[in-house]
Structure 1
């Protein structure tokens, strides 16, 4: 993006840049095609349970029918692997790829806020956005889980619906880099998503490099009611976290105990 002349007032320059990064106006057909791509990405980034495995022929057919585009080519490359591998191998690959301790975790607010109070607030804000749009996630996952964010984007459209994706553009870039470095087939799904978003700025790329080198902020407090657990990890809703043992009762002073005998 070329810089705007310095003679343009700062406020105007800011507004022009923001407008250039907003999604362009789409025809109904283009919006429908975009929603389909987002929904396919959401499905393919979910855990490959029996239902998803059974749906592989339908997914392959839907992807092969997409109009030619870089996004469609990436999805075709992914599904050529996904459609042929054994279910147990797919499950194992998924768990190893998206382990919360890796740079390819799918929980987006972690990249922006780490285990800090701000992340807890970001989760609440995201959940409130869903409710304001009349969408109930069902409570099966945290609201920042990428497949959930993608499903909301597909349902709510490129304006407000895709706002969380644009907000977490740097985290998405980091996930894609980690998957590419690992030569993971899932890199194609992230590439599909990134192809739908505005290109990264120089500031974005510099921030991603810092994030890759230093990691997100670290402050292991303040994630209630969603919860967190040590070492930079955070627990999905279904994970069992042992309760903290209750403190032992204070000993009764000898003199007081004798006085009640």
Structure 2
């Protein structure tokens, strides 16, 4: 398993060996004495969950021929760990790659995921929008990477970029990564609904991610709203206050300004 991940991402030795996770806790399970949802203890990822996170982190990147060439191996890996829904999700992405020339596939990716806010892969955007409060959320992700002791290359992305969070969860610290995914569960669920409603290829991938976390997935935006416990953002920039992407979230605890930067590899 670790050997395949190292070959896939060029991170030899960074994969962690997963252990069976804890029995499904509630959405708000946190370490005793802590109010920070990033401190939730959901257990480490199982082998199947680790595969879900790594496969999704690869397939949700900007499409190119190298990723397309990996799809048969990713499908085989999903089959080996018995993740049938993930096999189906991979097949959807494979069909998308095969539906048009690569330049057209890449252009559709840019349109749907880079230019369209409706399918943003940045977790805090769904909840904080373009508000000042978002900086605090991004800092919390940076702190998670810093606390892992690993040098994190953001590749020019914000630290809440979903493929990056998934890669960290699969290869570095599945316990911390799963806690961050669960903390931003409303974002994942809203993305899942948007992808489903627009019949896009990544829908089942995000569904697999949601299903790997504790608690049943809500079926409507109104139900997703109930997952959040904090007050709405005090300020919005360029978004209507009723926009579902401004859904109130379990707010990460503030961290010192000295932790606002994460080391990056050149």
- Under TM normalisation by the shorter chain, which class is it? 0.5 to 0.7
Q: Aligned partners of 2:227 and 2:144: how far apart in 1?
A: 29
Residue 155 (structure 1) shift: 2.3
Give the structure 1 partner of residue 47 of structure 2: 32
Summarize the alignment of residues 62-211 of structure 1 with structure 2, pairs less than 5 Å apart: 62-82=77-97, 85-140=100-155, 141-198=157-214, 199-200=216-217, 205-207=223-225
Residue 166 (structure 1) shift: 0.5
Residue 184 (structure 1) shift: 0.8
Going from structure 1 to structure 2, the CA distance change for 1:83 and 1:135 (only over 3 Å counts) comes to farther
Going from structure 1 to structure 2, the CA distance change for 1:115 and 1:81 (only over 3 Å counts) comes to closer
- CA deviations over 1:204-252 (Å, ceiling 9, x no partner): 725189999624349xxxxxxxxxxxxxxxxxxxxxxxxxxxxxxxxxx
- The question of whether the paired residues in 1 share the 8 Å contact of 2:89 and 2:202 is answered with no
Which range moves more in the overlay, 206-215 or 46-55?
A: 206-215
Larger Rg: 1
Residue 19 (structure 1) shift: 4.7
1:44 equivalent among 59, 66, 81: 59
Find the residue that maps to 1:184 and give its secondary structure: coil
Q: Aligned partners of 1:16 and 1:43: how far apart in 2?
A: 29
Residue 23 (structure 1) shift: 6.9
Q: Aligned partners of 2:209 and 2:122: how far apart in 1?
A: 15
Going from structure 1 to structure 2, the CA distance change for 1:35 and 1:161 (only over 3 Å counts) comes to same
Give the structure 2 partner of residue 11 of structure 1: none
Going from structure 1 to structure 2, the CA distance change for 1:25 and 1:192 (only over 3 Å counts) comes to same
Q: Aligned partners of 2:132 and 2:143: how far apart in 1?
A: 17
* TM-score, scaled relative to structure 2: 0.63
Going from structure 1 to structure 2, the CA distance change for 1:216 and 1:46 (only over 3 Å counts) comes to same
Could you tell me which runs of 5 or more consecutive residues in structure 2 were left unpaired when the two chains were aligned. 1-24, 31-36, 233-239, 248-266
Q: Aligned partners of 1:208 and 1:110: how far apart in 2?
A: 18
Equivalent pairs counted in the alignment come to 201
Q: Aligned partners of 1:102 and 1:183: how far apart in 2?
A: 16
Residue 38 (structure 1) shift: 0.6
Residue 64 (structure 1) shift: 4.2
